[in-house]
Structure 1
Amino acid sequence: MTVEDAILALVAAFVVAALATPLTSRLARAVGAVDRPRDRGLAAGGTPLLGGLAMLAAVLVAGLLFLDFGGILGDRLHGILAGAVVIALVGALDDRFDLHPAVKLLGQIGAASVPVAAGVEVTNITFPFLGAVDFGSAGAPLTVVGLVAVMNVVNLSDGIDGLAAGVCAIAAAAFAIIAFDLQRDHAGVLAAITCGAALGFLVHNFHPASAFMGDCGSNLLGLLLGCVAVEGAVKTQAILALLFPLVVLAVPFLDTTFVVLKRLKYRRPIYAADTNHFHHRFSAIGFSQRRTVLYLYAWTVCLAGFAVALRFVPYSDNGGSFDPGWTAVMAGLGLLVLAASVYLVYTLEILKFRVTLRRRTGRAAADVDAEVARAMETGEFQALRADDGPSGPRTPSA
């Protein structure tokens, strides 16, 4: 398998997903798998789900055409595709029948166990300055836990048109580059297929979306990205192998971590939807859905680019010696990514909220600062409308 195979596989997956999505939308409407307004989403409801089935079709078709199923790698690839089918079906049932969270979790564990049983398993990790750490018999269950975590991270981030599909496409592209550089060609092609499937679906999912991927799609992308990370980087001997997926998927990981901590703080169920996600916060300060998702894409690109740079910039000889010049370059890139992250998390959410509130309501600075402090404590920003005036939000006349 070569880079050319990966490019062709990406194109094939893109075409299949783009063509199949309208068909899955018709199926969704026929069986009643239609989105209902939820607290964690910004959609009004009524959009067909099951877009994940179109991505599954794209992955299976492109996989059969461009993946090499010979030898021991073939067993692992068969396991990944089988697990993909299982989680897509579990997600489709959830989209239609709204399964209990415990049932969904069991389905995720079952789907993750399929590729792990086929050999998609992390047995050891190489840490900088510490060397290899062997997990032994704990490798398999730890890998299952990791795959389930990635599935839920992607699932929880899917609350605005185009966000999950775009972020996963960017992440998959970064994983493909890293995997090929680590000579994990099978993982590189699988990552390219995942990227193509997400982009093909994004044709119909970018705002205003005509189709949603549903839990069917978000869990599918999460499982595929998790398997790609394991096969393409984590189970290699690369010193920064574990860091690559954490940096590439930092945006959904940070979003999920923040939301879960908020729910734990206020003693709410972890699985209960709320309005504490990044996209809700951007909406609360007046961002449109398109602007919100483009900012989050840009953040993901910055982090993914930094992860790729960690692999390609020769700042170290992997033996403990660092090149001063290239190390300075990496430090500079790291500071730029950190600055972009601070800008998005702090400036856009806090400072812009303060300025917007003062401008639109005409309230005193002290009152606004108190409101911002309250919002920071609770994590709940009151949405601002363009017609808000000095006396506060207008109410409709009777």
Structure 2
Amino acid sequence: MPSALPEGDPAPADGALPASVLDGAQTRRFGVYVHVPYCRVRCGYCDFNTYTASELGGTRRDEYADQVEWELAFGARVMREAGLPERAVSTVFFGGGTPTLLPASDLTAMLSRIKTEWGLAPGAEVTTEANPDSVDAAYLQELAAAGFTRVSFGMQSAVPHVLRTLDRTHQPERVPQVVAWAREAGLQVSVDLIYGTPGESLADWERSIDAALACNPDHISAYALIVESGTKLAAQIRRGEVAQPDEDLHAEMYELADARFSAAGLGWYEISNWSRSADTRSRHNLSYWTGEDWWAAGPGAHSHIGGVRWWNVKHPGAYATRVNEGVSPAHARELLSDTARREERVLLETRIADGLPTHVLDSDERAVVSALIAEGLVDGRAAIGGHVVPTLRGRLLADTVVHRLLGA
């Protein structure tokens, strides 16, 4: 089942934002995330806020786009009433779940609402996630015609037994076909991979890398499998039905992926992400890692504006009830302290190739950077240039780097 929402302070029914969100707002980019919580089946490893048809409790998918459009209009009004400057949307991301289980007309209607309420900045990035078996050529053409610029396919693996363990429903040969259709539509293409699935060998992982690279994508994300409590996979491991993922094998798999992606012309720009150029990085995800502003619509979606973070009620039924009542769907929120915002900046910006500016650190922390350079965890040349950037070994030990910097 999806993980529980965090606790927080009460969220006002009118969504009102504190005056503090105005500080520096003009210098921050603004994006929109739309969560689509529907899946055909629940993958055994997943604890995202997603629901199959039997879990919807009477709510209807064909009403969802209208509900999200209401929240988008509500969000634009809340931001205007807070006195925030007008900012066209730089990035839009439809995630899930499987957004492409909805008709293309629903996705394009929600995008149209975003354009109406805020406008899109010139060259805006507009992405949707998609399962390889949830789209065809006509669907992708319709998205591109409406202004989508990018699609991220959940490939995960090219090995049938790995896909079965993950409960993925597509066939490996479907991936190059949908990538070709996306290219014909003029869309940039990213593929998502997962490594470290129980029973997956290094040779299996190499086969998936080869298959992904053969598609010649603009971008690849590769994530280590994390066994989340409460998932089917966690229960299978607890019962001894499948093996616990091996952390040493995870490290070997990451090193292999980085070497192969780099050799193919894809450079890392965040620990789990590689792109062909700066122009094909996920600008939306970079906005999360660099603390920009975004409104997130949909059940369980998390928004952030000017140090205020809030999250919506989880279940699509509860979300629909709030929307129908004309009140904020937010479940709770928190106002981040200066200390919390600084710690988050250290945590996130040490994950990216652009690095954490050293001026953010105090003298004691800069001394730690020197020690991390000596230990091969931080790039010395980048540090001389004023940024803390992890080495390959530092990426493998990213938590250690952050804990050391923050004195944890």
- Calculate the TM-score normalised by the size of structure 1: 0.27
**Structure with the higher helix share, 1 or 2:** 1
